[in-house]
Amino acid sequence: MTDITKKSAKEINKLFLNKEISAKEILDQFYKQIEQVESKIDALNISTKELGYSQAEELDKKLSKGEKLGPMAGVPIIIKDILCVKNYPVTCSSKILENFIAPYESTCTQKLWEAGAICIAKSNMDEFAMGSSTENSAFKKTKNPWNLKNVPGGSSGGSAAAVSAFEAPVSLGTDTGGSIRQPAGFCGIVGFKPTYGRVSRFGLVAFASSLDQIGPFSRDVYDTALVLETISGYDSKDSTSLNVDVPSYTKKLNPELVKDKKIGVIKELMGDGIDAEVKNEIEKSIKIFENLGADIVEVSLPNVKYAVPVYYILATAEASANLARYDGVKYGLRSPGAKDLPSMYRTTRHDGFGAEVKRRIMLGTFALSSGYYDAYYKKAQQVRKLVTQDFLNAFEKVDLMLSPTCPSTAFEFGAKVADPLSMYISDIATIPASLAGLPAMSIPCGFDSKGLPIGLQLIAPSLSEELLLSSALAFEKVCSFSGKVPAGVA
């Protein structure tokens, strides 16, 4: 039987539709791969075998009857454990939700099941998506498949590591300030953050509602386009959902689109603080785009230097409001032995939340408190508008923008735990596009001298996912690493 664990979602779908392999056999192979590598990388929180095999059985029946199947028929997928999959736990890698069972299905997963995708598992993450290394999970520390001593990035580290280690061809993550793009960069795969509102957030446990977005991980650009096309679209259940048509990203993928396009290299993200090896690979990538026919120019985003502090005021303020619901009253953990209601609140949150979540709740509560709201939260909102305007001004001159995904490659476990500020700064290149609500993606562009992947970030104007994907595909055809096997799971 053909080993399909190294194949793309597109290839797996074709093999299934051609009846060269059954959906059950596809699942068998991926669960065998999980058995072989999961103990090394700890990427998964929850197995969804019962659901997966029932979906596979249904697909095999439909195929045998000649029924029409969706574009992801037979494709296994892993879901970040912050998205609701009905009748399965949604823990957000937190003790406070450890035993909570989702009572309904998220919109994006429902669309995946309707398209024929098969749910393999739910992945580990930083608690409530707060972190850049997946060290903040209450359950385990996910390892980077390229070097097991290093972090996979975060907060969607489990989803990224799982795809990198061939536990699934595709997965879903969430991106608030870079939590898809940064782990994609660290793990040597493709990660995509869509335009804010392009993908419904219904069924996503909120961290920062004005920033959170759901997006795909994959090992090549086509598979990213396939998943993005499947999960995008208007949803009346999400008040921030955009009521605009969704193009067929897979059909409109055209590497020729990059020719004669102007690509702006972001000046502020190519200077001090960028590792020399990362900068060298980005400069090589710039030359590749030049050879592909793009016109490279330098652009400046003068207010991007404020992006990190602005983000950590706004995101923590929204987190403070969103996480107030976890109080031991209606659902989730309730710590026993409390004498009264206030003490139940205190003990439940003390026992249920980890250190980083508590830190962000405190920061956000302070920023929203009387006497400080205008000085911090209001000012941060004003500067957010300036950052957004910087992008709008730059996109009058260029079609796309380019930068490193991260200022360095994946760091070792514990390297930044004692210094939260240095951890926050690791998102310096990804946060600006999040503040502006723009589509952005990370694609692998090389390796450092230690064999760790380096990510290249591309940013496009709002709702320009088609141009973003096509440009990435043109680059991938010249500079592809999808066939390389990470050293940690080889």
Residue 31 to residue 38: CA distance in whole angstroms: 10
Contact 361, 353 (CB under 8 A): yes
Rounded to whole angstroms, what are the CA distances from 9 to 162, 214, 220, 333, 382? 14, 19, 9, 38, 42
Rounded to whole angstroms, what are the CA distances from 334 to 45, 94, 444? 22, 13, 44
CA atoms within 13 A on the CB side of 431: 26
Contact 117, 23 (CB under 8 A): no
Active-site annotation holds for 239:
no
**Active-site option among 8, 22, 123, 179:** 179
DSSP state of 199: B
Count each helix (H run) and each strand (E run) in the chain, helices first. 15, 11
Active-site annotation holds for 80:
yes
Contact 176, 315 (CB under 8 A): yes
**Active-site option among 80, 111, 122, 193:** 80
Residue 92 to residue 82: CA distance in whole angstroms: 5
**Active-site option among 106, 123, 155, 232:** 155
Question: CA gyration radius for the chain?
Answer: 21
Within 8 A by CB and 6+ apart from 288, the residues are 475, 478, 479
Q: For 175-197, b where at least 16 C-beta lie within 10 A, e where not — what string?
A: bbbbbbbbbbbbbbbbbbbbbbb
% helix / strand / coil in the chain, to the nearest 5?
40, 15, 45
Sign of CA dihedral 7, 13, 16, 18: negative
Give first-to-last CA distance, the chain, whole Å.
20
Strand partners, 456: 404, 443
Residue 136 to residue 142: CA distance in whole angstroms: 10
Q: Are strands 295-299 and 262-266 parallel, antiparallel or unpaired?
A: parallel
CA atoms within 13 A on the CB side of 61: 6
Q: Are strands 190-193 and 213-218 parallel, antiparallel or unpaired?
A: antiparallel
Task: Fill in the amino acid letter for 106.
Answer: S
Residue positions annotated with a catalytic role: 80, 155, 179
